[in-house]
Amino acid sequence: MKNGKLQAAVIGCGSISKVHIIAIQTLADVEIAAVCDIKPDRAQAAAEATGAKAYGDWHEVVALPEIDVVHICLPHYLHAPVAIEALGNGKNVLTEKPMATTVADARKMIEASEKEGAGTLGVIFQNRYNAAVQKALEIVKSGEMGEFKGARAEVSWTRSRSYYVDSGWRGSKLTEGAGSLINQAIHTLDLLSYIGGPIEKVRGAVFTGLLENDIEVEDNAMGVAIYEGGQRAVIHTTNNYVADAPVEVELQMEKGVLKLYGNNLFKVEKDSFELIARGENKSVVGKAYWGSSHGTQIEDYYSCIRRGEKFWIDGRSGLPALALVCAIVQSSEEKRWVTLEKA
C-alpha cells in the first residue's frame, strides 16, 4: 500500500497482460508498481504504458515489500511456483487460468493459500460473470424449469501452427500442460460444474489432428462425464475448425432446454425459442473470444481484498475444471473411466 493505493505487480507481459493492465487502470485506488517479463522489450513496453518499474526476475518481484497483489499472466507451468512463492510472502495472487498444469500442483497452491499469513488466491474464470451464464445459473438453481438433466458443451475454435510454435511454450506437455482442453475449453468445462454441480468421473479420448507434426498436446478432445448427481455431460473441443465459432453449452432441463450460445442465452420450450439474456456490449480489449468480463472479475477481486474477504473463485473453486481436463487426458491414455481428483 502506498499513498492509500494498493500496489499491483503484473508478471508476464504478453497478450493477456494488456487486459489485466487496462482493468487495473480503471480502479481508482490501485497502482501498478511493477511489471515483469523475461523478454526485456516486453517488460519495458509494459513499464512505459503503466509508469511501473520493469523487472526480469519474478522471484525479485514477489519479494518486493511494497507489492500487495501479484497478477500471474505467465505460461501455464509457471502459475504454481510463482503463486506459491508469492502467497508464502503474504501477497494476494490473481492467477490466469488454468491455475496449474497438474492437480498435484493445484493442491500445493490451495495449501499455500490456506496457510496463516497467506494472501488471497483468485483464479481467472471471467466467463462466470457473463450475464447469460448468471441467468442460466439462476434458472437452474431456482427450479423454474424443473430439474437439470444433463449438458452438452462444444468448443470449435481454430489455432494455427504459429500460435503454438512462435509462443515458445504452447504445444508442449511440460509448459502448456495439455492443449485445447487446458487452454481453450477450460472456461467451458468450468461452466459445466459451476452450473450443473460437481462431476464425478469421465471417459475421454484426445488426439492431435492437423498439427500432429508440430505439437505434443491434443488439439481435439471428447468426453462423456457423469455428475455426482447422476446427470450426464458430453464434451467436444477442437482447435482444428476454420473459425472461432461461438461456444455452445446446452442444458437439458425437465421443462425445456437452455442454450448458451456465445454470450447469449436462449430458452427453448416446445416451439418457442426465446433470447432471455444478451451478452453485454462493453468494449472488449484483446480477442473477442476472451469475452468482456475480465474487468468485472478483476474489480470484484480487488473489492474482496479491500474488505479483507476471501475471494469466491479461489483455489478450491478453480480446481474442478483442471481436474476434468486432467481426467479426460488420463482416461484417453488409459482407456478407462477416471474419477476426478479433489482438493
Ligand X SMILES: NC(=O)c1ccc[n+]([C@@H]2O[C@H](COP(=O)([O-])OP(=O)(O)OC[C@H]3O[C@@H](n4cnc5c(N)ncnc54)[C@H](O)[C@@H]3O)[C@@H](O)[C@H]2O)c1
Element (H, E) at 204: strand 199-207
Least distance in angstroms from the C-beta of 61 to ligand X? 9
- 183 scored as a contact of ligand X (CB under 6 A): yes
Asked if 337 touches ligand X (CB under 6 A), the answer is no
Q: Cell 491434443 belongs to which residue? A: 218
Stretch that binds ligand X, among 7-15, 132-140, 256-264, 267-275 (CB under 6 A): 7-15
Residues in region 206-265 near ligand X by CB under 6 A? none
* Closer to ligand X by Cβ: residue 289 or 337: 289
Q: Which is nearer to ligand X, 42 or 159 (CB)?
A: 42
- Give 51-71 as a 3 state SS string: CCEEECCHHHHHCCCCCCEEE
CA distances from 193 to 153, 199, 319, 320 (A): 12, 6, 11, 7
Q: How far is CA 312 from CA 1, 219, 233, 285, 317, in A?
A: 23, 31, 25, 24, 7
> By CB under 6 A, how many residues form the interface with ligand X?
24
Nearer to ligand X by Cβ, of 58 and 148: the residue is 58
Shortest distance, CB of residue 90 to ligand X, whole angstroms? Answer: 21
How many Cβ atoms from other residues are within 10 Å of residue 128's Cβ? 20
Establish if 71 lies at the interface with ligand X (CB under 6 A).
Answer: no
Q: Of 145 and 190, which has the nearer Cβ to ligand X?
A: 190
Is 124 one of the binding residues for ligand X (CB under 6 A)?
A: yes
Closest contact distance (angstroms) between CB of 128 and ligand X is: 11
The residue among 85 and 96 lying less far from ligand X, judged by its C-beta, is 96
Exactly one of 241, 266, 290, 337 binds ligand X (CB under 6 A); that residue is: 290
175 binds ligand X (CB under 6 A): no
Q: Are 196 and 227 in contact (CB under 8 A)?
A: yes
**At how many degrees (to 10) do helices 17-25 and 40-50 cross?**
20
Q: How far apart are CA 219 and CA 228, in angstroms?
A: 28
Residue 224 Cβ, how far from ligand X at the closest point, in Å? 25
CA distance 259 to 262: 9
Among 39, 255, 306, 310, the residue binding ligand X under the rule CB under 6 A is 39
Q: Which is nearer to ligand X, 76 or 259 (CB)?
A: 76
Q: Which is nearer to ligand X, 164 or 227 (CB)?
A: 164
107 binds ligand X (CB under 6 A): no
Query: For residues 138 and 127, what is the distance between their CA atoms, to the nearest angstrom?
Result: 15
Q: How far is the CB of 304 from ligand X (least distance, A)?
A: 19
Write out the three cell numbers for 28: 481508482
- Looking only at the bridges linking them, the beta strands covering 232-238 and 148-156 are parallel
Longest dimension (CA), the chain: 61
Q: 44, 158, 167, 240: which one contacts ligand X (CB under 6 A)?
A: 167
CB of 255 to ligand X, least distance (A): 33
**φ, ψ dihedrals at 220, nearest 5°:** -145, 140
Q: Which residues bind ligand X (CB under 6 A)?
A: 11-16, 36-39, 42, 58, 73-76, 78, 96-97, 124, 126, 167, 183, 290
